[in-house]
Amino acid sequence: PPCMLPSADACKFDFSQCSDVRPGFLCEVHCKAPFVGEPTTAICPAGSSKLMPTLMWSRPQCSLEDCPDPRPAPDGFHKTRSGDWECAEGYNGSVVTYCHFSSHCEAELVLVGCSRWRAAAEGADV
């Protein structure tokens, strides 16, 4: 019987070349887009007494190449000509970004840190 695939981050690692690997044979584990990195070699151990041995592997060093921008831009955020995000007019704060993956492994850039600017009350010392 083929080796069992290990439980690993299905959004990050691609085991498609290892789905039917028999004991004593090798396969490659790749980074799944939008991650990039060099593949690593995995082996299905031979001579195991287990009915279905588990694939032995080391994780590829996968880094995120690009995370798609949200479309449209969320309220309070503006993308500059240089490609950076900043708070839109009428908002203030510091933009923080991170990449979020849905349960279907779809990546989207999440923006936080900008809130609507509130003017000081009329007549107050500013």
Give tens-digit pLDDT for 60-100: 999 988 889 998 999 999 999 999 999 999 999 999 999 99
Domain identity same for 77 and 45: no
Domain identity same for 72 and 126: yes
Domain identity same for 25 and 50: yes
For position 96, what pLDDT does the model report? Answer: 96
**Domain span holding position 53:** 13-64
What percent of the chain has pLDDT above 90? 69
Average pLDDT, the chain: 89
In a domain, 95, yes or no: yes
In a domain, 107, yes or no: yes
Decide if pLDDT at 122 tops 70.
no
What percent of the chain has pLDDT above 70? 91
Domain identity same for 57 and 101: no
In a domain, 91, yes or no: yes
| Residue 26 binned pLDDT confidence (cut-offs 50, 70, 90) | very high
Residue 59: which of 104, 121, 14 has the closest Cα?
14
Domain identity same for 125 and 92: yes
Decide if pLDDT at 47 tops 50.
yes
Decide if pLDDT at 48 tops 90.
no
Domain identity same for 78 and 113: yes
Cα 81 to Cα 94: distance, rounded to the nearest angstrom? 18
What are the backbone dihedrals phi and psi of residue 18, each rounded to the nearest 5 degrees, phi first? -110, 5
**Cβ(13)–Cβ(30) below 8 Å:** yes
Bond preceding residue 72 cis, omega within 30 of 0: yes
For position 33, what pLDDT does the model report? Answer: 87
| Residue 126 binned pLDDT confidence (cut-offs 50, 70, 90) | very low
Domain identity same for 95 and 51: no
Cα end-to-end distance, the chain, whole Å: 76
**Cβ(35)–Cβ(67) below 8 Å:** no
Structure tokens that stand for 17 in this block: 């070349």
Residue 9: which of 120, 119, 105 has the closest Cα?
105
